[in-house]
């Protein structure tokens, strides 16, 4: 099968004809509208498929959770600290972008569940405010 193309090299235009060549004489590309694919099934190697472990615990009332997957850059409060809804409590970093996490409610910090440089998943509890 031959295909004609127009190409430009260093501001000079050329008309070229390309001939498809395969070892078995078949077409290298399918005809339009004939390409249908079946879902790919992974090969059974007998090994267990690795899965992402769930966060250490499900978030409960009063928990401040991570809005995204990232790395804890800093924890701005300590246990016993009284916070307001808009108090900056943790800074996360993901893809070189820092995200400020606010308390989200008024109360007292009763538990801090992460530490700086720790990787966290989206939805993972970071601290508890009582």
For the stretch 110-128, pLDDT in tens is 999 999 999 999 999 999 9
The pLDDT value recorded for residue 94 is: 92
The domain of 110 spans 63-129
How far apart are the C-alpha atoms of 47 and 94, rounded to whole Å?
32
User: Regarding predicted confidence, which is higher, 52 or 107?
Assistant: 107
Structure token pair of residue 120:
């966290």
The pLDDT value recorded for residue 52 is: 45
- Which 8-state DSSP code applies to residue 38? P
What is the tally of structural domains in the chain? Answer: 1
**Arithmetic mean of pLDDT over the chain:** 81
CA distances, 41 to each of 17, 45, 48, 52, 70 (Å): 39, 12, 15, 20, 31
Q: Is residue 38 a part of any domain in this protein? A: no
CATH number for position 98: 2.40.50.100
Q: Is residue 77 a part of any domain in this protein? A: yes
Q: Is residue 114 a part of any domain in this protein? A: yes
Q: Is residue 82 a part of any domain in this protein? A: yes
The pLDDT value recorded for residue 113 is: 94
- Which 8-state DSSP code applies to residue 50? P
How far apart are the C-alpha atoms of 74 and 71, rounded to whole Å?
9
User: Regarding predicted confidence, which is higher, 88 or 42?
Assistant: 88
């Amino acid at each position: 099968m031959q295909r004609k193309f127009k190409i430009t090299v260093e501001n000079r235009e050329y008309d070229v004809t390309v001939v498809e060549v395969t070892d078995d004489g078949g077409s290298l590309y399918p005809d339009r509208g004939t390409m249908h694919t079946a879902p790919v099934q992974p090969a059974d190697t007998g090994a267990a498929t690795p899965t992402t472990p769930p966060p250490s615990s499900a978030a409960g009332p009063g928990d401040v959770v991570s809005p995204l997957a990232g790395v804890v850059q800093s924890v701005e409060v300590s246990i016993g600290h009284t916070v307001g809804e808009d108090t900056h409590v943790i800074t996360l970093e993901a893809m070189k972008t820092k995200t400020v996490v606010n308390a989200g409610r008024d109360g007292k910090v009763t538990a801090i569940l992460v530490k700086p440089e720790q990787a966290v998943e989206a939805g993972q509890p970071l601290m508890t405010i009582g």
